[in-house]
């Protein structure tokens, strides 16, 4: 009953946007994903940390979620900046029921559990999403509130936090999100989003008492990483 995590599958089985066009590690990435995901067993839990599908709507994402459905065990999904298919939790549940997809849950304004560990998270925010490097206050504040709702729901349990966007990297810090991680006693935070040359900007290891890990698919060789 292991806990795995990986971000940025960028599935495109229902859309014409294969990541192979970016070259490098992404060439043949679907085969790499199939091989990497084979480490997961039917009793395991896997957190998929955003940018799951390129599809623009749920029905257009059906083929991609059929792929996710084939991953053994429980799947916990986090929103990424390219998950345009994302709607509401209720619509996602209805979509899964209609297609016979099982063992998928959304980590969104809530926390879920792996044994006694609270799995918390949100998409987060990133300056690159704003024109001129200034925050879109409405969207940014909403992301901060979502993360706090998730952390608060965990109570006094040990918290393992998942974000799509990095809360910090070389030359960048998101102080409001970092403040939440410290205030709610998070000791471990995993994130994705950074690809290719951006990997060199990643911050990993202990920073002010929190252990950070980059788990973008191309960074971990398309193999989910065992966290517990």
For residue 161, what are its two tokens?
């936090």
Q: List Cα–Cα distances, 6 to 135, 136, 139, 145, 204, in angstroms.
A: 27, 27, 25, 24, 15
**Lookup: tokens for 160:** 């393992």
Supply the pLDDT for residue 16.
66
Q: Which residues have a Cβ under 8 Å from the Cβ of 203 and sit 6 or more positions away?
A: 166, 168, 169, 170, 212
Name the phi and psi angles at 201, rounded to 5: -90, -10
85-98: b or e for each residue (b if 16 or more CB lie within 10 Å)? bbeeeeebeebbee
User: DSSP state, 58?
Assistant: T
pLDDT tens figures, 197-228: 999 999 999 999 999 999 999 999 999 999 99
Q: Which domain covers residue 16, as residue numbers?
A: 3-226
pTM higher than 0.85: yes
pLDDT digits (tens, 9 = 90+) for 2-38: 999 999 999 998 766 666 556 677 788 999 999 999 9
pLDDT tens, position by position, 179-195 = 999 999 999 999 999 99
b/e per residue 142-160 (b: at least 16 CB within 10 A): ebbebbbebbeebeeeebb
Residue 138: CATH number of its domain? 3.60.21.10
**131, pLDDT greater than 50:** no
| Average pLDDT, rounded, for the chain | 92
Sorted by sequence, the CB contacts under 8 Å of residue 206 that are 6+ apart come out as 212
Q: Domains in the chain: how many in total?
A: 1
Average of per-residue pLDDT across 40-53: 97
Start-end of H helices in 54-203: 62-69, 89-99, 137-153, 175-183
- What pLDDT shows up at residue 81? 92
Expressed in angstroms, the distance from the first to the final Cα of the chain is 9
């Amino acid at each position: 009953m292991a806990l795995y995590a990986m971000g940025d599958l960028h599935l495109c089985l229902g859309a014409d946007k294969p990541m192979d066009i970016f070259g490098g590690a992404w060439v043949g990435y679907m085969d790499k994903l199939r091989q990497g995901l084979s480490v997961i067993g039917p009793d395991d839990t896997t957190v998929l940390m955003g940018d799951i599908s390129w599809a623009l709507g749920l029905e257009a994402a059906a083929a991609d979620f059929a792929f996710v459905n084939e991953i053994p065990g429980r799947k916990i999904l986090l929103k990424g900046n390219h998950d345009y298919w994302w709607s509401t939790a209720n619509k996602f549940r209805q979509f899964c029921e209609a297609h016979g997809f099982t063992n998928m849950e959304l980590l969104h304004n809530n926390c879920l559990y792996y044994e006694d560990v609270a799995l918390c998270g949100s998409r987060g925010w990133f300056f690159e999403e704003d024109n001129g490097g200034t925050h879109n206050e409405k969207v940014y504040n909403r992301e901060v509130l979502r993360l706090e709702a998730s952390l608060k729901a965990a109570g006094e349990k040990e918290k393992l936090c998942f974000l799509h966007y990095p809360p910090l990297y070389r030359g960048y810090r998101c102080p409001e999100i970092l403040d939440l991680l410290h205030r709610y006693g998070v000791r471990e935070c995993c994130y994705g989003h950074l690809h290719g040359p951006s990997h060199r900007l990643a911050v990993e290891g202990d920073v002010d008492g929190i252990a950070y890990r980059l788990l973008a698919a191309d960074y971990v060789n398309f193999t989910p990483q065992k966290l517990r």
